[in-house]
Amino acid sequence: MTSQPTMNKTGNDPGGPGEPGAEGSGLQAGLKNRHLSMIAIGGVIGAGLFVGSSSGIATAGPGILLSYALVGTLVVLVMRMLGEMSAANPTSGSFSAHADRALGSWAGFSIGWLYWFFWVVVLAVEATAGAVILEGWIPAVPQWGWALIVMLVLTATNLVSVGSYGEFEFWFAGIKVVAIAAFIVVGGLAVFGLLPGVDSEQAGLGNLTEHGGFLPNGAGAILTGVLLVVFSFMGSEIATLAAGESENPRQAVTKATNSIIWRVAVFYLGSIAVVVCLLPWDSKSITKDGSYVAALDSLGIAHAGQIMNFIVLTSVLSCLNSGLYTASRMAFSLGRRGDAPKAFARTTSNGVPRTAILASVAFGFVAVFFNYKFPDSVFLFLVNSSGAVALFVWLVICFSQLRMRKIIKAEAPEKLVVKMWLYPYLTWATAALIVFILGYMLTDTEHDGRQTILLSLLVAAVVLAIAFVRKGLRGGRPAADAPQVQGEERSEVSAG
């Protein structure tokens, strides 16, 4: 049973003398407002949007817009819940720390390690994807060499300071944002016949209903489309982790939460709508060349493939950069709470959790090795077993928010600067939708949904078992292990 948390003042220094094994000054407020703004905007735009959307369009036709709208709505609701908790209590552990307080140490331990596992596997996936593009440009360097170079450069960036991470991410995310905005504007003009000098006879709103109708493969394809696009939304929660190292965490979280609706609407729904209006959904070029490349090619834009490769590479580097940052901060938070080795909670004089970063990237290197040596066995298991973690995280956020709202109202109601709509009914409805999607994955054998959910559940069960064994051996955790972030009030909890 988890005792009722009390929101007390803790020290202003997150990694000061009170931190186990601290050797530095703890996490520091090194992210500027412009960094946080771009991280919030770009965090929801993953490489999966550019690379994975073609399979969704081929499966659901123009109806893929409903799939994106459904998942986008789910993300908006989950981010609203997370925003409520994080605005009241900004911390580098984000939802893992909230789960620790609201549900118990077993929940914070389990979801924290699952999330860390997800991102270190993503490091290998994205490093390999980037290496493929770079090898195409400079074949003299082998793929594994490019993967090594990319990982080393971004590791060095993260080791310098949180400000260097923020600066790199500012430019990476900026390129993504500008590229999608330009694509929407140019494509939109072409759809309505307003783009001078471009032959776009295929383009038009008629592509939404012609070629078999809006739902050419039936309404069931919408749910299949959901399974194909849901994981491209992972990353929207990064802003709540990064906010803990900003100058004004509460304001940063509030701003990121309030802007999630237009970010999803513009960058996902807007860009995909342009794609399915520029080309018939069943055009072979969509699956052959990729949806965005095919759309650009249809406008006669020279070197469309290379332009998109550059944008995808930027997205890959952004994902790698943020993935390493996110994994290391989650490891740091776990170390602060005694759920990981104490060394993970140590920071350098620049406020960098060096051991947590190196441990995360080390696992990433091992995963890259598996990708090259055992791609169809070990690495495939790693990818599939981490595939449903996004949905697990969202489900835990729902249940955490249900309890945390009561805790915050009882202890510090003035901190409810962001509120979940129609609480608790919309929270329960969101949780039910996530459970439904997880259940539907069990019926999906065509796109490996069943394998992904079963392997993910297996890994989750192992982590949960470890959590309960540790809990039984330790008999609970003292409140002093609760995470803190510089200059903020933090809640503390005894879980036992």
For residues 375 and 367, give the distance between their C-alpha atoms in angstroms, rounded to a whole number. Answer: 10
Nearest to 271 by CA among 311, 322, 231, 302: 311
How many residues does this entry show for the chain? Answer: 496
CB 282 within 8 A of CB 212: yes
pLDDT at 64: 95
Amino acid at 386: S
**CA gap 32, 42 in Å, rounded:** 15
Q: What is the per-residue pLDDT for 1?
A: 38
What is residue 443's three-state secondary structure?
Answer: coil
Q: What is the DSSP letter of 491?
A: E
pLDDT at position 319 is 87
Which tokens in the block code for residue 255?
């701003």
pTM above 0.85, yes or no: yes
pLDDT at 491: 36
Mapping DSSP to helix (H, G, I), strand (E, B) and coil, where does residue 375 land? Answer: coil
pLDDT averaged over 10-residue windows placed end to end, the chain, 496 residues? 36 36 61 81 73 87 94 93 92 91 94 94 89 92 91 91 88 89 91 76 86 91 87 82 82 84 89 93 89 87 85 88 91 93 91 94 90 87 88 95 95 92 96 94 85 92 93 60 37 34
